[in-house]
A and B are shown apart, each in its own frame.
Chain A
Amino acid sequence: MELLTPALGLFFWTLVVFLIIIFMLKKLAWKPILKAIKDREDSIEEALKSAEKARSEMSQLQSGIAEAKKEAAAERDRIMKEATEMKNNILDQAKKDAQNEARRIVDDARDAILKEKAAAMADIQSQVASLSLEIAEKVLAKKFENKGEQEALVQEYLKTVSL
Chain B
Amino acid sequence: MRHVKSGIRGFWRVKNFAFLLAFMTFTWSFANPADHETGHDSVQHEDIIPHDEVGHDTHGEAGHGEEEGFTTATMSKTILHHISDAHEWHFFSIGETHYSLPLPVIVYSEQYGLDIFMSSSFDHHTHMYKTYKEEHGHIVLLDESGEPLLVEQNVEEDGVVVGTEMVPAPVMDLSITKNVASMLVSFIIILLLFTSVAKAYKARPGQAPRGLQSFMEPLILFVRDEIAKPNMGHHYLRFTPYLLSLFFFIWVNNLLGLLPGAANVTGNIAFTMVLALLSLIITNVNGNKSYWGHILWPPGIPLPVKVILIPVEIISIFTKPFALMIRLFANMTAGHIIIMSILGLIFLFSENGTNLGAGFGVSFASVPFAIFLYTLELLVAAIQAFIFTMLTALFIGQAMPEDHH
Distance in Å: Cβ of A55 to nearest Cβ of chain B: 22
B78 sits at the interface (CB 8 A): no
* B224 adjacent to A34 (CB under 8 Å): yes
Q: Identify which of residues 56-107 in chain A touch chain B, using a CB-to-CB cut-off of 8 Å.
A: none
Instruction: For A11, give its contact among B190, B197, B273 (CB under 8 Å).
Output: B273
Which A residues lie within 8 Å of B217 (CB)? 37
Interface residues on chain A, number (Cβ under 8 Å): 34
Q: Closest chain B residue to A31 by CB distance?
A: B241
Q: Closest chain B residue to A24 by CB distance?
A: B191
A15 to B244, CA, bound (A): 17
Interface residues on B, range: 35 or more
* B201 adjacent to A32 (CB under 8 Å): yes
| Known contacts A6-B269, A13-B180, A30-B241; A40 and B198 CB within 8 A of each other | no
Residues 1-43 of chain A: 1 if any B CB is under 8 Å from the residue's CB, otherwise 0?
0111111111111110110111011101111111011011001
* B241 adjacent to A26 (CB under 8 Å): yes
Instruction: For A20, give its contact among B173, B187, B274 (CB under 8 Å).
Output: B187
Instruction: For B174, give its contact among A3, A4, A13, A20 (CB under 8 Å).
Output: A13
Q: Identify which of residues 11-63 in chain B touch chain A, using a CB-to-CB cut-off of 8 Å.
A: none
B176 sits at the interface (CB 8 A): yes
Q: Closest chain A residue to B205 by CB distance?
A: A36
Which A residues lie within 8 Å of B194 (CB)? 25, 28-30, 33
Which B residues lie within 8 Å of A7 (CB)? 85, 173, 177, 268, 270
Distance in Å: Cβ of A65 to nearest Cβ of chain B: 35
Instruction: For A29, give its contact among B177, B198, B205, B268 (CB under 8 Å).
Output: B198
| Known contacts A10-B180, A11-B270, A25-B241; A39 and B187 CB within 8 A of each other | no
* A21 adjacent to B220 (CB under 8 Å): no
Most chain B beta-carbon neighbours within 10 Å: one of A9, A31, A32, A39: A9
B100 sits at the interface (CB 8 A): no
| Known contacts A15-B274, A30-B244, A30-B245; A21 and B190 CB within 8 A of each other | yes
B126 sits at the interface (CB 8 A): no
A39 to B80, CA, bound (A): 50
Which B residues lie within 8 Å of A11 (CB)? 270-271, 273-274
* B278 adjacent to A18 (CB under 8 Å): yes
Which A residues lie within 8 Å of B6 (CB)? none
A14 to B197, CA, bound (A): 24
A34 to B270, CA, bound (A): 31
Which A residues lie within 8 Å of B269 (CB)? 3-6
Distance in Å: Cβ of B337 to nearest Cβ of chain A: 10
* B273 adjacent to A29 (CB under 8 Å): no
Which B residues lie within 8 Å of A37 (CB)? 201, 217, 220-221, 224
Residues 189-212 of chain B: 1 if any A CB is under 8 Å from the residue's CB, otherwise 0?
011001101100110011100000
Q: Closest chain A residue to B325 by CB distance?
A: A6
B345 sits at the interface (CB 8 A): no
| Known contacts A7-B173, A10-B85, A29-B197; A17 and B224 CB within 8 A of each other | no
Which B residues lie within 8 Å of A10 (CB)? 85, 177, 179-180, 268, 270-271
Q: Identify which of residues 103-162 in chain A touch chain B, using a CB-to-CB cut-off of 8 Å.
A: none
Instruction: For B206, give its contact among A3, A4, A22, A39 (CB under 8 Å).
Output: A39
B242 sits at the interface (CB 8 A): yes
Distance in Å: Cβ of B110 to nearest Cβ of chain A: 15
Using a CB–CB cutoff of 8 Å, the interface residues on chain B facing chain A are 80, 83-85, 106, 136, 172-177, 179-180, 183-184, 187, 190-191, 194-195, 197-198, 201-202, 205-207, 217, 220-221, 224, 237, 240-242, 244-245, 248-249, 268-271, 273-275, 278, 333
Using a CB–CB cutoff of 8 Å, the interface residues on chain A facing chain B are 2-15, 17-18, 20-22, 24-26, 28-34, 36-37, 39-40, 43
Listed by A's residue number, 6 A-B pairs whose Cβ atoms lie within 8 Å are A2-B136, A6-B269, A10-B180, A14-B275, A17-B183, A22-B241
Nearest 6 A-B pairs (CB), nearest first? A29-B194, A36-B201, A6-B270, A30-B241, A10-B270, A11-B270
Known: A8-B172, A9-B173, A39-B205; 16 extra A-B contacts, CB below 8 A, are: A2-B80, A2-B136, A10-B268, A11-B273, A11-B274, A14-B180, A14-B270, A17-B180, A21-B187, A21-B245, A26-B241, A28-B198, A29-B195, A30-B241, A40-B205, A43-B206
